Amino acid sequence: MCGRLTQYRGIHDFVATLSMPGVWRIEGSGEPLEHYNVAPTARVAILRLDDIGPRADLVKWGWRPHWARDRAAPINARVEKVAHGAFFRAIWPHRALTPVDGWYEWVDEGGARKQPYYIHRRDGQPALCASIGQFAGREDDGVVILTADAEGGLVDVHDRRPVVLSAELAREWIASATSREQAEQLAMNFAEDSAAFAWERVGFAVGNVRNQGAGLILPL
């Protein structure tokens, strides 16, 4: 999964996609986010549970442990290793969802420049991406998105894909009653397959992170 995504709906729309009962505490307004070209270190909307109940926050995309200051903060974590490696050990128990309208990948098709593609759910709903992070209310808080090997037609676009869950499994992913072992099996084995997604070529303007607007996701 490449390091660009979109979150253009409002946070209330993402909450509604999850279909989770309870009184949500939501950071920010209910207005559309209108983020069409989100890059690493930007703040992204996430959905999670804490001791009080469901909440939606804006958190930096990317995280690293305090002892890894010699490297850039990763934005993604490989689902095959994340539960057992030392790097993400501290945040593996802190599960969340990063709802995205879509994400971009760049493909070498033999031209002078790599061709950008925009990937999104075929049904028009947001993709609920399994994530983990640090949500302590500190400056070094952050979130990373779990990724898995691509399969089906998505292999032609990139060799990795975000772990996207159905609403039912997304609720299970963030539930406090779900054990770490259950969460690992859920993320490893029950992500949405490539049939749930569509991908189209889009214009080269998305390559400049300063460019924004709905025109970026229009298929060529």
**Cβ neighbourhood burial of 100 (10 Å; 0-12, 13-18, 19+):** buried
Largest CA distance in the chain: 53
Helix 167-174 to helix 180-189 angle, to the nearest 10 degrees?
Answer: 150
Question: CB of 37 within 8 A of CB of 216?
Answer: yes
Catalytic residue selected from 2, 80, 172, 200: 2
Of the segments 28-32, 114-118, 149-153, which one has the largest average pLDDT value? Answer: 114-118
Active site residue 31: no
pLDDT at 1: 67
pLDDT at 159: 84
Catalytic residue selected from 31, 80, 105, 139: 105
As given in the structure block, the two tokens for residue 75 are 């934005």
Question: CB of 201 within 8 A of CB of 117?
Answer: yes
Q: How many residues does the chain have?
A: 220
Active site residue 129: no
Domains located in the chain, CATH noted: 5-109+119-199 (3.90.1680.10)
Per-residue pLDDT of 91-130, as tens digits, reads 999 999 999 999 999 999 999 999 999 999 999 999 999 9
Per-residue pLDDT of 37-91, as tens digits, reads 999 999 999 999 999 999 999 999 999 999 998 989 999 999 999 999 999 999 9
Per-residue pLDDT of 168-196, as tens digits, reads 999 999 999 999 999 999 999 999 999 99
29 pLDDT above the threshold of 90: no
pTM over 0.85: yes
